[in-house]
Amino acid sequence: MTILFSCSVDDGHPSDLRLAQLLAAYELKATFYLPIANIEGPPVLHGPQIRELGQAFEIGSHTHDHCFLSLLGERQARFQIERGKSVLENLLGRQVTGFCYPGGRYGGVHVRQVEAAGFRYARTTRNLYLEPGPGRFEMATTCQFYPHGRAVYLRNFVRGGQWLKRRASLRRALRHDGWGARLHAMLDGALQDGGVFHLWLHTLDIDRLGAWSELDAFLRRVAACVPPSRRLTNGQLADHFFPPA
């Protein structure tokens, strides 16, 4: 069966540059969603580093200050969405068309604000999908590269809806005890049944977990199984399934 692979990376931690080297070594595409600052405290990439990353990878916005939009007033949310976009565009010298909702915390008003700001698509943190998701401004993922327990998978499944579309990935994941085995099982399912395998992660998590070798092995397997023509950025994935009007 035919599989499409897409990878996205959130929060703009300086270790994103290490991941960029790893992805380049396997000729894998990715989209990096960058805030300009992070109110939670972790360091972020700065101007020259953003420009370096943007030479080889798609750059999307993650608000200006990595704010959960659902905790903001409407005016504050609009500022975060619009300002994050404009600063990145000034740094890169080109249009930034992709957006990711920090923490997956958003509502309908924020979807409309993102579209009004001139973004072409947006990504959520919904998981267990082997398809792009319900729409261009609510794109979903398959799994996060993180040691989530069974309870997290089950809670996300229940809250995320569209259960029939996500049930097979949940079953494959829960057959295994180790989180690495779960990720590989979901990849096995995508390779068997076809569809979209969308991996997302934070490089700060990889640092804290000491999981760079596990990530390397997973990406090596993807590169061996997915032809280069089937490796897409998030923007390419959006255009493939939701062609612009």
Instruction: Choose which CATH entry (3.40.50.2300, 3.90.1310.10, 3.40.640.10, 3.20.20.370) describes domain 3-237.
Output: 3.20.20.370
Where do the DSSP E strands lie in 143-206? 143-144, 195-201
Residue 32 DSSP class: E
pLDDT in tens, 16-73: 999 999 999 999 999 999 999 999 999 999 999 999 999 999 999 999 999 999 999 9
Buried b (16+ CB within 10 A) or exposed e, 52-81: ebbeebbbbbbbbbbbbbeebeeeebbbbb
pLDDT digits (tens, 9 = 90+) for 112-162: 999 999 999 999 999 999 999 999 999 999 999 999 999 999 998 998 889
Instruction: Look at residue 2 in the predicted model and tell me its pLDDT.
Output: 86
pLDDT higher than threshold 70 for residue 169? yes
pLDDT reading at 245 higher than 80: no
CA dist 91 and 69 (Å) reads 23
The residues spanned by each domain of the chain are 3-237
10 Å CB burial of residue 19 (0-12, 13-18, 19+) is buried
Q: What percent of the chain has pLDDT over 90?
A: 96
Q: Which residues contact 179 (CB under 8 A, 6 or more apart)?
A: 146, 147, 148, 149
Q: Give the per-residue pLDDT at 160.
A: 86
Residue 1 has what pLDDT?
A: 63
Rounded CA separation 117/75 (Å): 13
Ranges 88-102, 150-164, 191-205, 225-239: which has the least confidence:
150-164
